[in-house]
Each structure stands twice: as structure tokens, then as C-alpha cells.
Structure 1
Amino acid sequence: MNRKVVLFDFDGTLVDSLEAIVRITNRLSGEFGYQKATAEDVEALRNLNSMQIIKTAKVPLAKVPFLLQMVKLELNQEIQNLKPIAGIIDVLADLKSKGYPLGIVTSNSQDNVKTFLHNYDLHEVFSFVHSGSTLFGKSKVIKKFLRQEKFLPEEVIYVGDETRDIEAAKNTRVQVIAVSWGFNSKEVLVKHNPDFALDRPEELIAAIGHLQQS
């Protein structure tokens, strides 16, 4: 039996970038016309989906694409300081040794991802890195990956930390594992009915093994 391809989201799933993103978005608040987020605000936002977050923060919808582009540019200045999620490197090594092809599908930039992978000697772990700049259309990035790499949806598992990751996977008929160590809380992730909702990276091994058999 061929191993399924395991695709990972980047920010929040593989890399601990939440604090950096909060700092950056707070710095850009004056330019883009929204309020800075306190620690309490961030905790509350973890229980909302992407559209609810934008409405709550009162970010003008027309400015969202430009805001995302600025965040990615600013992240490029902080990428050297970002660290992997605790325990995720061992999990990736385990999956690789079991023969799973690994990839990344993200709304972050290819440059940021590749710099991070080089810093932690992970560039040979991943066979695919696909990125797209859309907030709500991550399913388009997954569809593009499937088309370019010639995989069927049933041959792929997607791992992400946000409700939009679950929605994108479901829209493309890809199995999805939601992880609670990133942005969205487990409570809101479960409401979107992923195949699995996990709290610790080491739980990925068993969950992916189960989906491999399905």
C-alpha cells in the first residue's frame, strides 16, 4: 500500500509564530485602521473563524489582501527568531522514516518557509512546498497542489491549526487533522468536524496511521 501524502500548514502547525504575528499585526494597526490586540483579545479570537476575526477586529475587507502581504514581508525580518513547535521535528522524522511523503501548503511566502526549513535542516524532509496569498481560498492552493503533483484527494492528509484549514480540506475532499497547539482553540476546531482533533504533536503518528488505513 502506498503511503498517503501528509501536507502541513506552516504557521501555528509547524512553527511557533503566533506571538510574532500578533506583534506585527499590532504594529500595522494604525496603518490599516484596526485596534491593537491585547493578550485577552488574542485568547478570545482563538474561538472565532477567520471571517469572524476580521469582523471583530473591524479590518476593512478591501485592505485584507494588503495587510496579509505586509505581514508576510514583516515575518521575513523575524523568521530567524522563530522556532519549531516543541516535539514536531521528531514527529516529522518518524513519519519520514515510515515512508510518508511530506509537504507544506501555506498562505505564508515560499521564501519565509524555505528560510525556516534551512535554519533547522528540514529542507530535505519535505518533498513539496506550495504557497498562496489568499485568506479564504486555501482550498485553491490545495487543488493546485493536487493538480500539479497529480495526486487524488484520497491520497492526501492535511494537518492544520485553523478552522479555514478544515474548511479547505473538506472543500477539496482531503482528510484533515486539526491541531490545537496553534491559533484556533480545540473547542472551535471540533465544531468544524475534522477527522481528528489533537492536542500534542506526538499524537499525529497514530492519527495519520489510522487515516492511512481508511
Structure 2
Amino acid sequence: MVKHILFDFDGTLVDSRALLVKLYNEMAVQHHFRPIRQQDLAALRSLTISERVERLGVPVLQIPKLLIAGRQLYQDHIRALQLVPGMKEVVSRLSAQGVRSSILSSNTGTNIRLFLKNHKLDGAFKDVISAKPIFGKHHAIRKVMKEWGTAPSRMVYVGDELRDIEACKKLGVPIIAVTWGYDSPRLLLSGRPDYLVHSPQELQRTLMSMLSYK
């Protein structure tokens, strides 16, 4: 039976796509990258991160610096962000059941905690864990498993990107992929997640079945 739930943050819990596109475009003007237009979004959702970087002409060596700058800009706009509709009910149901839920994200702990405080969700999550490398989420998940002393089968990850699926597959951690985030359903399916859900209500049903499974 699953005992621990790890949630991704951006795209899974929080509807931050528009903000991240806005911040990227501000930096694109400054650094002379290709901007993201509204008509580009559908196509970009179907590409891997490496393919998106190539499509937009962003030099790989500049990505760490851009991520740091982007996270600082993100904090300035965090009060405008909202939870994905329906996700507060999912989180509240899990909290009422006494389930240990945590957040693991490549966003900063400062940004995440500020958002949770603004939305009065401070007590809904046990831990907030920042996975700093954009392609190193499996290292962070492995560290969490070690600290918690839990087996892969006793936890589940909820995320919206192919890289989340790939990280979990490396460790044998079950993953629920959600289709309302950054990556398209087709791209998510290419990673063969354990579950693919299309709404927070479907996510809640899936989680409840995993929590009650004997």
C-alpha cells in the first residue's frame, strides 16, 4: 500500500505555464533568443526539454544561469499564481485522510513555501524538497526514499513531465502523469507512466485506490 505521495509543483499543483512563458520571453528579448508565441505552445508541449531548447535556440551552457534568473523573477509574480482548479480539493482530501504528502520540484523551496503560505496550505504538506538539477530529479527522489526509509512501492509521484516519468522509472517508483501540465498527453504516454489522468477528480480516485489497496 502507498504511504507517501510526492507532488511536482509547477504544472501539476500550480497553473504557472503562462507566467513561465512570460518570464522566458522577457529573458529572450534580453539575450536574443527566439520568443514563444501563443501559436507555438501546442507544438512545444509535444517536444522533450532538449528538443525545446534546440527549437528556441537557447545555448545549453546558459541554461543554469537562466534558471537562476527565472526563479528570482518568479518570486516577484508569485501572488498572481493560482492552484490548478480542483487540486485544492485533492490536497485537502489527502490531508483529511492523514496521508503524508510532500512536494518535490526543481523550483526553489522559498518560492513553493511562499505560494503555500499565500494559499493557506502551509500544513497540507509534510516536506518541500527542491531538486536543483533540471535533469537530476531521480537523485532527489532517491535521497527522499533513503531519508524516509521507504521502499519504491510504498510511494507514488504525481507529475506532468516526461522527465518525471523517466526519473521514477529509474528507481521503480510508481508515477501518475497528469495531462493538464507542461507536456502533452502523447509525450507523457511515450514514457509509459503507470497511470495517466486527465482531471484532478480522476487523480483523486486513482490516489484513493492506491492508498486503500491491500
Q: Which TM-score band (shorter chain)?
A: over 0.9
Query: CA offsets, 1:123-154, max 9 Å, x none?
Result: 10000110022111111111121122222211
1:176 counterpart = 2:167: no
Indicate the residue corresponding to 1:10 in structure 2: 9
Alignment of 1:1-214 (within 5 A): 3-212=2-211, 213=213
Native 8 Å contact 1:33 1:59 kept in 2: no
Shift of 1:30: 3.3
Letter in 1 for 2:111: N
1:86 match: secondary structure: coil
2:9 match: secondary structure: coil
Native 8 Å contact 1:32 1:59 kept in 2: no
- CA 1:151–1:67 in structure 2 vs 1: closer, same or farther (change >3 Å)? same
Native 8 Å contact 1:157 1:176 kept in 2: yes
Letter in 2 for 1:180: T
RMSD: 1.4
Shift of 1:60: 0.6
What residue ranges of structure 1 are gaps of 5+ in the alignment? none
Instruction: Name the % identity.
Output: 34
Distance 1:90 1:40 in 2: 32
Letter in 2 for 1:146: M
The TM-score normalised by the length of structure 1 is 0.95
Shift of 1:211: 3.2
Shift of 1:48: 1.0
Distance 1:173 1:67 in 2: 32
2:29 match: secondary structure: helix
Letter in 2 for 1:186: P
1:83 match: secondary structure: coil
Distance 1:17 1:84 in 2: 9
Native 8 Å contact 1:107 1:133 kept in 2: yes
Shift of 1:59: 1.0
The TM-score normalised by the length of structure 2 is 0.95
Comparing 85-94 and 30-39, the one that deviates more: 30-39
Native 8 Å contact 1:32 1:63 kept in 2: no
Native 8 Å contact 1:105 1:131 kept in 2: yes
